[in-house]
Amino acid sequence: MRNKFVLLITLLFTSLSYGQKQVTWEDMSHVEYTDKFFPIYEEFFKYPTFLLAVKALDGKQIKITGYFLNIAPEDDMYMLSKSPMSSCFFCGQGEPDTVIELQFKNTPNFKTDAIVSVTGKLILNSEDVDHFIFILEDCKGELID
């Protein structure tokens, strides 16, 4: 009996330390915005303030499902979107928290608008307007049928 208990505790801690947290787009939406002027571009951009629910995910391994957008494969620029390309953030259909920049370990082989689950380390970005507010580093993705 004691061996079973030790095995159960070991499995629990192993899964907690190596697993990723499954998140939804609702989880990622806990962001507020203010307009902030960025002198380098002489423009105002939406400046994010991440609320506690999102801050708790910073630096953690997460898994999220969405639409794969193949923005500029020659520059390794990919993103995951809450919505398909025809109604994504760039078309004025959402806030910056509806897209995630994807930085893959290996070049992905997904087509635009494929539904995929992506796992990676979440980085919250509020200062670098050349990148999205959410970045997933060292991504791995899988096609959802």
Whether residue 50 contacts residue 29, with contact meaning beta carbons closer than 8 Å, is answered with: no
Q: What is the CATH number of domain 20-143?
A: 2.40.50.870
**Per-residue pLDDT tens over the stretch 10-35:** 334 444 445 779 999 999 999 999 99
- Name every residue whose Cβ is closer than 8 Å to that of residue 46 and which is 6 or more positions away in sequence: 33, 34, 35, 36, 95, 96
Q: Which two tokens stand for residue 74?
A: 């020659």
**Per-residue pLDDT tens over the stretch 68-99:** 999 888 888 999 999 898 666 555 567 899 99
Q: What is the mean pLDDT of residues 127-141?
A: 95
108 closest CA partner among 81, 145, 71? 71
* pTM, 2 dp: 0.82
Average confidence score pLDDT of the chain: 86
CA 145 to CA 45: how far, in whole Å? Answer: 37
pLDDT given for residue 61 in this prediction: 97
By CB atoms closer than 10 A (0-12, 13-18, 19+), residue 37 is exposed
CA 73 to CA 37: how far, in whole Å? Answer: 30
